[in-house]
Amino acid sequence: MQLLKAYAHDFWRYRYLLQNLIGRDFKLKYRRSVLGVAWSVLNPLLMNIVMVVVFSTILDMRGSGIKNFPVYLLIGQLLFSFFTEGTSSAMGSMLGAAPLIKKVYIPKYIFPLERVCFAMVNCLFSFIALILMMILTGAELHATVFLALYPLVTLFLFTLGVGLMLAAATVFFRDVMHLWGVFTTALMYFSAIFYDPLQMGSFTVGGTELNVSQVIRFNPLYWYITGFRATVLDGTGLTWSMVWICGLCAVLALALGLIVFRRQQDKFVLHI
Amino acid sequence: MNMIEVNNVSMRFNMAKEKHESLKEYFLAAVQGKLQFEEFYALRDVSLKVEKGEFHGLIGLNGSGKSTLLKIISGVFKPTAGSVTVHGSIAPLIELGAGFDMDLTARENIFLNGTVLGLTPQYIREKFDEIVEFSELRDFLDVPLKNYSSGMVARIGFSIATVTKPDVLIADEILSVGDFMFQEKCEERMRQLMSGGTTVLLVSHSIGQVERMCDRVTWLEKGRVRMSGGAREVCDAYRALDEQAASAQRAAAKKPMEVKKD
């Protein structure tokens, strides 16, 4: 409790720094591009079109059985890319902040937090693409759309927790960066982004038969994405298992992230 | 009242002979029992007290632990042993413009760096003109910092860092930047701060400057306090070291060169 209070106090004191760092990243990302911020919308939209074409024509990954496949796919893409962008940029954040934290005292967790916030800002911008796509495909607007805030907020906390752990680990072992890239690629195929797990069959590993829809339940990202789809696309609201799994994963990841990060943070400055 | 209290601080660094930056290297070394660290004490049992309103100088040769001590006082390093207490706000000038983003313009950097130092955007906006005026760089405000010269960057850095009235100002070699006009201006600004009750801790290799500006001086040698006291006294002793070294050198030079024969 005391710990959380200290964090909250620091957070309040350095809120402007956080704001300014996010602003800086934002300016630098779009500086010298003609379309600027519009890329936040255009990029996911174009990616979505590519994937829709690929998965519904060339590789028919059973996308045809899914109601409003473009929107279904886009939700998966947006949330998943928020997670990968957030975690992988948080991972390198301590190394990036080296010139600063070697000279001035700043609470170190500001840097991973800033990167995850920045990824969230990007993600929110790209929701414009989602709205556009929903209008284009004539998707219904449900009242449950407001409930989408829950999977979104819990996903943010989950990503922050994972990001903090990765940031701490990367300071000591740069290998983590390379491993994580491979891991997220594997994870992408297991997050039900472009398929419906219920339509997938089973596979065998070492003689035991595993069902895709069973195995995927162990992937937290699957729950965030499915929860978001349920509220925005299907209009069914959140089931209890969505509520508690999303919440629990977020709390666990964040608690673990904060503990790991806090234990190691005093040593960071000697290793970067 | 003591503004800075450093009690028996030691700082140990593990000087790994080779840094293990990948898992494979680390495990290989661990398995082979090669995970050795050479312990190196940058500071040993250093105590220091700086009173309110004092201008305190730190002198010593390269590698004597001056910068490490400043970094411990400003919170960048945690000491291995001992404790540090600082009363009031600190403005660390360990390096001017730490945290500047070279791709951003000076205007944007003033806001970024200000918030790094814990100022509010509102406060920076109020003081913006004062900062720019002091740095004398109004014509270059919207130029990215990468196009600045290092002296210009330092000017902006100094202007931001001293615009507040910090309780404690920590300065590492910062007065050696810029041309002599600006140096004078910086000294002037520091005196102004001092008259407002700011306590200053200064590291400098310019003994003349230290003697001129400081009230008290601490001389560090190989991580220990060699001498601490009034500015004149300590600076004289430090200069004597210089003369000793010089005479030793002269003596060495007088000796006929030994020629090695196989």
Q: What is the per-residue pLDDT across B87-134, written as a single tens digit (0 to 9) for each? A: 888 887 777 767 788 888 899 889 988 888 888 889 999 999 999 998
* Of the candidate ranges A68-72, A104-108, A205-209, the one whose mean pLDDT is the lowest: A205-209
* CA nearest neighbour of A70 among A223, A228, A194: A194
Q: State residue A61's pLDDT score.
A: 58
Q: State residue B37's pLDDT score.
A: 64
pLDDT at A49 over 80: yes
Q: How far is A160 from chain B (nearest CA, A)?
A: 22
Of A13, A19, A175, nearest to B22 by CB-CB distance is A175
For residue A100, the chain B residues in CB contact (below 8 A) are: 98-99, 116
* Average pLDDT estimate for A164-174: 93
Give residue B132's region: left, alpha or beta (phi > 0; psi -120 to 50). alpha
Size of interface A-B (CB pairs under 8 A): 72
Interchain CB contact of A16 with B (< 8 Å): yes
CA distances from A52 to A31, A55, A194, B167 (A): 30, 5, 9, 61
**What is the percent of chain B with per-residue pLDDT over 90, rounded to a whole number?**
10
Interchain CB contact of A15 with B (< 8 Å): no
Q: State residue A77's pLDDT score.
A: 93
Tokens representing residue B157 in the block = 């850095």
Cβ pair A104:B117 closer than 8 A: yes
Interchain CB contact of A12 with B (< 8 Å): no
Q: Backbone phi, then psi, for A236, in 5-degree steps?
A: -100, -10
pLDDT at B15 over 70: no
Cβ pair A24:B104 closer than 8 A: yes
* CA nearest neighbour of B218 among B205, B231, B200: B231
pLDDT at A138 over 90: no
Q: State residue B92's pLDDT score.
A: 78
Q: State residue B34's pLDDT score.
A: 61
Ranges A120-129, A139-148, B165-174, most confident: A120-129
Interchain CB contact of A28 with B (< 8 Å): yes
Q: State residue B148's pLDDT score.
A: 87
Cβ pair A28:B104 closer than 8 A: yes
**Is residue B75 helix, strand or coil?**
coil
Give the span between the Cα atoms of A124 and A118, in whole angstroms: 10
Interface test with B, best of A16, A18, A26 (most B CBs within 10 A): A16
Question: For B154-207, how does the pLDDT look when each residue is reduced to its tens digit (9 = 90+)?
Answer: 888 888 888 888 888 888 876 666 678 888 888 888 888 888 888 888 888 888
**What is the percent of chain B with per-residue pLDDT over 70, rounded to a whole number?**
87
Give the span between the Cα atoms of A191 and A224, in whole angstroms: 10
Give the span between the Cα atoms of B149 and B182, in whole angstroms: 14
Q: What is the mean pLDDT of chain A?
A: 88
Q: State residue A2's pLDDT score.
A: 73
pLDDT at B260 over 60: no
What are the extents of the domains in chain B? 100-165
Give the span between the Cα atoms of A82 and A122, in whole angstroms: 8
Give the span between the Cα atoms of B177 and A255, in whole angstroms: 45
pLDDT at A216 over 60: yes
Q: Which amino acid is at B238?
A: Y
Give the span between the Cα atoms of B58 and B43, in whole angstroms: 14
Q: Exposure of B219 by Cβ count < 10 A (0-12 exposed, 13-18 middle, 19+ buried)? A: buried
* Average pLDDT estimate for B232-258: 75
With contact defined as beta carbons under 8 Å apart, do B172 and B60 qualify? no
Q: State residue A100's pLDDT score.
A: 85
Strands, DSSP E only, in chain A?
A: 202-205, 208-211
Of A13, A103, A270, nearest to B98 by CB-CB distance is A103
Interchain CB contact of B29 with A (< 8 Å): no
pLDDT at B137 over 80: yes
Question: For B187-196, how does the pLDDT look when each residue is reduced to its tens digit (9 = 90+)?
Answer: 888 888 888 8
Under 8 Å CB-to-CB from A193, ≥6 apart: which residues? A73, A76, A77, A80, A225
Of B21, B77, B98, nearest to A100 by CB-CB distance is B98
pLDDT at B258 over 60: no
For residue A105, the chain B residues in CB contact (below 8 A) are: 74-76, 90, 92
Question: For B16-59, how does the pLDDT look when each residue is reduced to its tens digit (9 = 90+)?
Answer: 656 666 777 777 776 666 666 677 888 989 999 998 888 899 98
Q: State residue B20's pLDDT score.
A: 64
